[in-house]
A = this chain, B = another copy of it.
Amino acid sequence: MGIAERAWAERALFLDNYQLTMAQLYFRHGIHESTAQFEHFTRSCPNYGNHQAGYCIAAGLEWLLDWMDEASITDADIEALRSQRTATGEQLFDDDFLSWLRANGSFDSLSLRAVPEGRVVHPNAPLTIVQGPLAIAQLLETSLLNHLNFQTLIATKASRMVEAARGRPVLEFGLRRSPEHAASAATRAALIGGADFSSNTGISKVLGVPPKGTHAHSMVQVFMALGEGELGAFRSYAKQYPDDCLLLVDTIDTLRSGVPNAITVFDELRSAGHKPVGVRLDSGDLAYLAIQSALLLDAAGHGETSITLSSGLDELSIFQILAQIDQEAPRYGLSAGQLINRLSFGVGSKLTASDGHPYLDGVYKLVALENQGEWRPAIKLSESPAKSQTPGDKDLIRVYDDRGRATADLLTVAGEELPDDFITLQHPIEHGVRRRLPNERVSAVESLLRDVYGHGKRVGEQSSLTQIRERRDRDIEKLDPGVRRLVNPHTYHVSLSPDLWDLKQRLITEARGTG
């Protein structure tokens, strides 16, 4: 196939074919340039089976905008579309539509508002709002979801691992088992979610974060095959990288061979005036081996060295390892806190493939359409009430309680003023389930959506990766611990204003009547 053909396929035609057939239908009806508003939101946080996310971390917007910049319809795209056939063998896309598409097939005509990357976000609240010509906004659907669903998914998983790791470094090592070229996006999202470094050389350079790594078992095997054994391998590595000497100690036997050989080499490094980095444990009972390795290293006077743990780690296994160390370390005369303070975590596939829940159920729904100068809210009913969406142009407001903690996200009708005395938080589905928050119990309200794209250009200042990461840190601090809990988290409230609730009910009634 060739890389160039694939690159082509991932530009403007990186979409579901029905977006194009629908665009042609709108064109035929003369409504393709009517202004439409679509909303992107998730239906739920990832549920990993025996544990669940209580929040998500928004990510992927910057790369979506990069993609939009490059994804204008080209002649080659038009030729590809011209070759599609109907069931009866005729051209599926008519020439007049293709001419219009060639002339108008870019995203310059759209404007986007979005919750900035790195922010804590919740289901059923808009993360992105797209406004523009109906056909063009429709064409954006697939790729917008593709880009934002994935990075938000991975940033969320990373954030959980980072929380489980109690502030110790988390290194993303996933590339070999990451979902193919989505690995690049996974690395970026992992960093947004709070991971500290990645092993991925190329994308780390692009993102301005130095790549990290140790060595593989194969390095030890090579020196073993040459008759120099594990010790010979470690010595060679230390000689080449005397100040970056992190040794993988489980190729033969962690405690009987790996750690003792590492100690020999660390002694030699120390004598030569270097500071050994530490060891990496990649198999076996990592909590037990961490304690035993620490005992051996301490006894040899290498109490300053680090211990990196890897091998199928996820947030629950990190949590469990640390809990086990809390309990067990004192029995060996070790301070659990000190041991934990020398740990790092290498996480791979379970982060970059979001093990347990490998996709985010973000959707992109029409919420309003302009017709003859008048906005009409749009609705989709559903077999499942939870899937009935909230119509119309909206604002998204975060409400902070008197402790400064985020207590609810509130959807309002766009431009709606909040009352002076109290805020009413209406449950989005259950009639009559509402909570009133008097103003004295509200420390702040904050509008979450920002203008990010318009007239073919980014709007506002672009954030650096560091700024995005800081945003996450700040938002996590303001979450209730119950919402941050790894297992069975408290459900964060996303509520409707009474005005928005009334609009939704009216639309549902009308739709059932006129369907």
Q: A6-B184, A203-B6, A203-B9 are in contact. Are A216 and B18 (CB under 8 A)?
A: yes
Does A177 lie within 8 Å of B25, measured CB to CB?
Answer: no
Residues of B near A25 (CB, < 8 A) are 215, 219, 236-237, 240-241
Q: Is A320 part of the contact surface with B, judged by Cβ < 8 Å?
A: no
Within 8 A of B (CB), among A116-154: 134, 138, 141-142, 145-147, 149-151
Q: A236-B29, A244-B86, A361-B177 are in contact. Are A202 and B142 (CB under 8 A)?
A: no
Choose among A49, A92, A176, A237 the residue with the greatest number of B CB atoms under 10 Å from its CB.
Answer: A176
Residues of B near A185 (CB, < 8 A) are 180-181
Does B13 lie within 8 Å of A66, measured CB to CB?
Answer: no
CA distance A181 to B180 in the complex (A): 8
Q: Is A252 part of the contact surface with B, judged by Cβ < 8 Å?
A: yes
Q: Is A474 part of the contact surface with B, judged by Cβ < 8 Å?
A: no
Instruction: Mark interface residues in A214-228 (1 if CB within 8 Å of B CB, else 0).
Output: 111111111011110
Q: Is A271 part of the contact surface with B, judged by Cβ < 8 Å?
A: no
Does B87 lie within 8 Å of A277, measured CB to CB?
Answer: yes
Q: Is A383 part of the contact surface with B, judged by Cβ < 8 Å?
A: yes
| Cβ distance A63 to chain B, nearest Cβ, rounded Å | 7
**Of A293-301, A333-341, A373-381, the one with at least 4 CB within 8 A of chain B:** A373-381
Choose among A21, A62, A364 the residue with the greatest number of B CB atoms under 10 Å from its CB.
Answer: A21
Instruction: Mark interface residues in A353-385 (1 if CB within 8 Å of B CB, else 0).
Output: 111011111101110110100001111111110
Q: Is A200 part of the contact surface with B, judged by Cβ < 8 Å?
A: yes
Assembly stoichiometry (copies)? 2
**Of A204-212, A413-421, A446-454, the one with at least 4 CB within 8 A of chain B:** A204-212
Q: Is A1 part of the contact surface with B, judged by Cβ < 8 Å?
A: yes
Picked from B36, B222, B284, the residue with its CB within 8 Å of the CB of A378 is B222
Q: A17-B212, A80-B205 are in contact. Are A138 and B218 (CB under 8 A)?
A: yes
CA distance A251 to B186 in the complex (A): 34
CA distance A219 to B369 in the complex (A): 12
Q: A16-B200, A84-B210, A213-B17 are in contact. Are A134 and B222 (CB under 8 A)?
A: yes
Q: Is A432 part of the contact surface with B, judged by Cβ < 8 Å?
A: no
Given A10-B203, A17-B201, A17-B212, 5 more pairs with CB closer than 8 A: A11-B202, A31-B226, A88-B243, A224-B515, A226-B371
Nearest first, the 7 closest Cβ-Cβ pairs linking A and B are: A9-B202, A179-B179, A13-B202, A18-B213, A284-B383, A358-B358, A252-B515
- A residues whose Cβ falls under 8 Å from a Cβ of B: 1-3, 5-22, 24-26, 28-29, 31, 36, 38, 49, 62-63, 66-67, 69-70, 80-81, 83-88, 92, 134, 138, 141-142, 145-147, 149-151, 173, 175-186, 199-207, 210-222, 224-227, 229-230, 236-237, 240-241, 243-244, 250-254, 256-257, 275, 277, 283-284, 349-350, 352-355, 357-362, 364-366, 368-369, 371, 376-384, 387, 511-512, 514-515
9 A–B pairs (Cβ distance < 8 Å), ordered by A: A10-B203, A15-B202, A141-B218, A146-B178, A179-B359, A180-B181, A283-B382, A283-B384, A349-B358
